[in-house]
Structure 1
Amino acid sequence: MNGKWQTVKLGDVCEIQSGGTPSRSKIEYWKDGNIPWVKIGDFSDKYISKTSELITQLGLENSSAKLFTKGTLLYSIFATLGEVSILNIDATTNQAIAGLKIKNNNQLDINYLFSYLKSIKDEVNRIGRGVAQNNINLGILKQFAIPLPPLETQQKIAAVLDKVQKIISESKATLEKYDTLIKSRFIEMFGDNSTENGKWNIEKIEDICTVTSSKRIYAEEQSTTGVPFLRISDLVSRINGNPINDLFIPNSKFKEFQTKGLVPSVNDILITSRGTLGLCYIIKPEDEFYFQDGMITWLAFKNHNKVLSVFIDWLFKSILKTKIDNETNGATVKYVSISDLKKLQIPVPPLELQNSFAAFVQQIDKSKFAVQKALEKAETLYKSLMQRYFA
């Protein structure tokens, strides 16, 4: 970053407000809503063009939610910190998201601000961990120092980063197409409502797996080096192919847990159980990490010769995740308990059919591997450019 550039406070160049959540107990605030309502799960790309939930005009008028106009930059300030996106629609947000409206577009370019805020995500997370509940308030956000080169320089920086970001987005889109292909094959082989098609035996997950979580790790037990310790956001990043390791537990503590059988085995599954529900991660042979209790549920398989991990993984992706989301709609914070997962009924198709599906997934994964490598290369370039421009 050029030391000659002027530095300004974010609150001096942007109008900043946080959103709000209409009461979930008031059905009239949600039913047949037509106003987009953004939550952190809707941050999937640079631009937000649709949301998973909508509120009504009554919900907007009777809550702290605010209608942000198209072109507003959104920034997450609670739990999952430092995520950035730009509204491509008029929308409201929950209270975990702040809306930033640039006061003077001849002074500050929105694409430049988007890139700069992305570049300081790690630093913001370090600040947030020093605050109760891992958050930053609007007062802290308004004090963020923003380097302000000439507008032409801002636009050139943003253009270079956007070019690389386009490659990243296209690679991710290709990976999503491969996942859609696998999901289609799953539905073709097993149906789209596998627990009610009458073809297979139906069993509870607790009959197939021991459903549990991790040993609780207190703050004083964490360390700056050792074995990575994953929060739910870290597990989601790992599922998405972007492992983040910035919290750890001592190697000795991890070895102790291994000795006591408190560490997942290869092909066991971890499931996100709070906020973002039903995402699965299959433990790989090279994995060595521990994870946060309460937020992440561990499926320890009793018999891998009865149900394959890859079948469970895609059963959640294709059917069960949507079912769980629908059943938890209306909750202030979405949560699925260990007891809920134990009782969840799943089909048990013949192992031969599961193996056939697993072979198909393996073949697609080979194609995904090349795309994933290209994606990683582009993401590395993007990070190096961010370092060059903003470090």
Structure 2
Amino acid sequence: MDGVKLQDIIGKPISGEWGNDDLTGKGVPVLRTTNFTNEGVINYDNVVTRDIPIKKIAGKYLTQGDILLEKSGGSDKQPVGRVVYFDGEENKYVFNNFTAALRIKDKNVWNSRYLFYALFANYLKGGTVKYENKTTGLHNLKVDLFIRNFTIKKIPIELQEALASKLDLVSRLIDLRKHQMNDFDELVKSRFVELFG
């Protein structure tokens, strides 16, 4: 099957908003790159709220299946361009201007988890590095160029769903194994203290 350009799958990426300090406590929850994990999952533990005019965020509330792309951030050891998959509460969260949302145009043709895994794998193998632009210590992603050039293999939607489900299962097993290793590490430490003081 042929490769399809990312821009043909998502169209134009949705840009984020930052707004002003939330002085009333009634602001909008805004996801930032600090909410990105390196496993492609969003950490909702420390979400800030911001005062942003409603007209600026119309159409920018995240919906399930959106993919957030890191536009600015990273470091010399961690390239910019990380992606996370949004599966949180719909029409509650927006995202800041250091990120962009990628939203599939036709969900009958493309599975969002399949697209996420393709982008995630590309990032892990260093595929965003050539699209970096470093300015004053900050790493920026040339988003338009990246979206114009990144291609994804087109396979039938049923195969996309099956592949995504298998990768979801693998991800859950890896996460479970990490938790087990952490628990085991804590057990070893506590036994060591019991034995040797």
Asked if these proteins are the same fold (TM beyond 0.5), I'd say yes
CA offsets, 1:270-304, max 9 Å, x none? xxxxxxxxxxxxxxxxxxxxxxxxxxxxxxxxxxx
The reply to whether residue 10 of structure 1 matches residue 12 of structure 2 is no
User: In 1, Cα distance between the equivalents of 2:163 and 2:54?
Assistant: 40
Q: Distance in 2 between matches of 1:362 and 1:41?
A: 35
Counterparts of residues 25-36 of structure 1 (less than 5 Å)? 26-28=21-23, 31-33=24-26, 35-36=28-29
Contact kept, 8 Å, 1:72 with 1:86, in 2: the verdict is: yes
Alignment pair present for 1:154 and 2:157? no
Query: 1:175-186 alignment to 2 at 5 Å?
Result: 175=181
Contact 2:3 2:153 in 1 (8 A): yes
Q: After superposition, what is the alpha-carbon deviation per residue over 1:209-252, rounded to whole angstroms, capped at 9, x for unaligned?
A: xxxxxxxxxxxxxxxxxxxxxxxxxxxxxxxxxxxxxxxxxxxx
Q: Secondary structure at the match of 2:69?
A: strand
1:138 aligns with 2:134: no
Structure 1 residues 129, 362: CA separation in 2 closer, same or farther (over 3 Å shift)? farther
Equivalent position of 2:17 in the other structure: 20
Pick closer, same or farther for the CA change 1:363–1:22 going to 2, 3 Å: farther
Q: 1:37-52 to 2 correspondence within 5 Å?
A: 37-44=30-37, 45-48=39-42, 50-52=44-46
Corresponding letter in the other structure for 1:55:
T
- The 3 A distance-change label for structure 1 pair 20 and 124 is farther
For residue 63 of structure 2, the aligned residue among 64, 69, 72 is 69
Alignment counterpart, residue 94 of structure 1, candidates 75, 93, 96: 96
Distance 1:52 1:126, change over 3 A: same
Check the 8 A contact 2:57/2:94 in 1, yes or no. no
CA contact (8 A) 1:74 1:97 kept: yes
1:37 positional shift: 1.2
Partner Cα distance (2:69, 2:158) in 1: 24
Q: CA deviation at 1:19?
A: 1.0
Q: CA deviation at 1:60?
A: 4.6
For residue 170 of structure 2, what is the aligned residue in structure 1?
A: 164
| Counterpart mapping for 1:198-213 below 5 A | none
Provide the C-alpha distance between the structure 1 equivalents of 2:112 and 2:25, rounded to a whole number of angstroms: 33
Number of residues of Structure 1 aligned to a counterpart in Structure 2: 178
**SS state of the match for residue 30, structure 2?**
strand
Question: Given residue 148 of structure 1, which amino acid in structure 2 is its aligned partner?
Answer: K
Q: List runs of 5+ in structure 1 lacking aligned partners.
A: 183-358, 365-391
Query: In the aligned structure 1, how far is the partner of 2:112 from the partner of 2:83?
Result: 11
Map 1:210-225 → 2, pairs under 5 A:
none
What is the CA distance between 1:86 and its match in structure 2? 1.6
The corresponding residue for 2:77 is none
Contact 1:74 1:99 in 2 (8 A): yes
**Paired residue secondary structure (2:169):** helix
Mapped contact 1:10–1:146 kept (Cα < 8 A)? yes
The question of whether the paired residues in 2 share the 8 Å contact of 1:20 and 1:94 is answered with: yes
Pairwise mapping of residues 341-356 of structure 1 onto structure 2 (< 5 A)?
none
SS at 1:12's partner residue?
helix
| Aligned partner letter, 1:21 | W
Report 1:222-241 matches (<5 A): none
Q: Could you say what secondary structure the match of 1:75 adopts?
A: strand
Query: Are the structure 2 counterparts of residues 67 and 60 from structure 1 closer, same or farther at C-alpha, using a change threshold of 3 Å?
Result: farther
User: Would you say the 8 A contact 1:74–1:100 is kept in 2?
Assistant: yes
**CA pair 13-49 structure 1, distance change in 2 beyond 3 A:** same
Separation in 2 of the partners of 1:82 and 1:39?
13
Letter in 2 for 1:19: G
Larger radius of gyration: 1
Question: How far apart are the structure 1 equivalents of 2:5 and 2:153?
Answer: 9
Answer 1 or 2: higher relative contact order, Cα 8 Å, separation at least 6: 2
Note if contact 1:73-1:99 (Cα within 8 Å) is conserved in structure 2: yes
